[in-house]
Amino acid sequence: MSHQKDLKKLAALLKSKSQPKVIFMLGAGVSTSSGIPDFRSPDTGLYHNLQSLNLPYAEAVFDLSFFKSTPKPFYTLAQELYPGQYVPSKLHYFVRLLQDKGLLQRVYTQNIDTLERVAGVENDFIVEAHGSFAENHCIKCGDKYSNDEFKAKIFAKEIPKCLKCKGLVKPDIVFFGEGLPERFFTCWEEDLELLESAKDDEYITITAGTSLTVYPFASLPSEVPKSHNRVLVNKEKVGSFKQNRTNDLVFLKDCDGFAQDLVDELGWTSEFEELIAKE
Ligand code: CNA
């Protein structure tokens, strides 16, 4: 019942005269329906699946020092996650629809699957906070390594090595202990300034499909000024949403179901279907 009430409230906000802009903060849960496992869902998450790789601890697959000594588990995972094998989810297409309607401010994503781009969201709107497979570099000398070569090697189950110094090659995905791309900080500084100077109804943040456990990304929703509406879409309450703010709207359900319900409530069903069919 409260779900329905909150959905109506969110739809009314999105359709209000103030034409609010939306800032998304996304995690692996928005891509699970595309067939990419998240990290932490019990039984289906990547960490569960990685048990067969004999990792000392699950996060080791994204740990730089572990990678240097034992690179194979990461390359196995990279093959599984490599872009081009998956289609975007309804939530990704909802982001695209808001872009087309001029209601998108930014999409911060922790995902490395590039499905926001595949859904047709323009690069200027996207902040890939944990990097992506867009480029590869040698971890020793920094030399660039071609995507075609990288893909061919990992799909042949071979280790990609730098052509100059024979160092290990890694896509520009942020490992534990590495810094986030500069763009993450500059865009957030810009957007936070907008949020702080805007009226309450000018921006809505939607956090979806993330356990909010990886910092600094996990702190983004808590930095949103208290006067603004924050939305959470996730299977369970996470992070700063556990301490309910009065104007939080929390949808404890799957991301695609939420996107479809909201689109229906907004009266955008047929254009949403057309957009998905066209892509
Ligand atoms: P996580 O820690 O695995 O959390 C996922 C969250 O999403 C959990 O709270 C789940 O309950 C929830 N969830 C799962 N499926 C759904 C669904 N269909 N609808 C609603 N909620 C759902 O993942 P985070 O993104 O929080 O962790 C950050 C890591 C995950 C980043 O460093 C990513 O690089 C990394 N990752 C990315 C991908 C990808 O690119 N698709 C896949 C797996 C992990």
C-alpha of residue 39 to centroid of ligand 1, in Å:
6
Confidence of residue 36 (pLDDT cuts 50, 70, 90): confident
Average pLDDT score over the chain: 93
Instruction: Provide mean pLDDT across the span 176-198.
Output: 95
The answer to ipTM > 0.90 is yes
Cα–Cα separations (whole angstroms), residue 229 to 30, 116, 177, 278: 21, 23, 32, 32
The per-residue pLDDT for 43 is 72
Q: Is 112 in the pocket of ligand 1 (CB under 6 A)?
A: yes
Rounded to an integer, what distance in angstroms lies between the CA atom of residue 61 and that of residue 73?
Answer: 6
Give the closest residue to 74 by CA, choosing from 128, 154, 134. 154
C-alpha of residue 46 to centroid of ligand 1, in Å:
10
Rounded to an integer, what distance in angstroms lies between the CA atom of residue 139 and that of residue 136?
Answer: 9
Confidence of residue 206 (pLDDT cuts 50, 70, 90): very high
Closest-CA residue, ligand 1 atom 5, reads 210
Q: Is 241 in the pocket of ligand 1 (CB under 6 A)?
A: no
Q: DSSP string of 144-181?
A: EE-HHHHHHHHHTT---B-TTT--BEEEEEPPBTSPPP
The per-residue pLDDT for 151 is 96
Instruction: Provide mean pLDDT across the span 188-211.
Output: 94
Q: Is the pLDDT of residue 48 over 80?
A: no
Considering only residues 246 and 2, tell me which one the structure prediction assigns the higher pLDDT.
Answer: 246
Q: Is 269 in the pocket of ligand 1 (CB under 6 A)?
A: no
C-alpha of residue 237 to centroid of ligand 1, in Å:
13
Best residue among 24, 25, 32, 39 to mutate for probing ligand 1, ranked by most atoms within 8 Å of CB = 39
Q: Over the stretch 220-251, which tens digit does the pLDDT of each residue have? A: 999 999 989 999 999 999 999 999 899 999 99
Sheet order of strands, 203-208 included: 126-128, 104-109, 21-26, 203-208, 229-233, 248-251
Rounded to an integer, what distance in angstroms lies between the CA atom of residue 40 and that of residue 45?
Answer: 5
The per-residue pLDDT for 1 is 52
Contact at 8 Å (CB) between 160 and 142?
no
Rounded to an integer, what distance in angstroms lies between the CA atom of residue 207 and that of residue 135?
Answer: 27
Is 130 an annotated catalytic residue?
yes
The per-residue pLDDT for 208 is 98
Question: Tokens at residue 176, please?
Answer: 């534990």
Instruction: Provide mean pLDDT across the span 7-36.
Output: 94
The per-residue pLDDT for 274 is 96
Closest-CA residue, ligand 1 atom 39, reads 111
The per-residue pLDDT for 190 is 97
Least confident residue range of 71-75, 80-84, 142-146, 154-158: 80-84
Q: Is 46 in the pocket of ligand 1 (CB under 6 A)?
A: yes
Give the dihedral sign, CA 196/197/201/205.
Answer: negative
C-alpha of residue 256 to centroid of ligand 1, in Å:
14
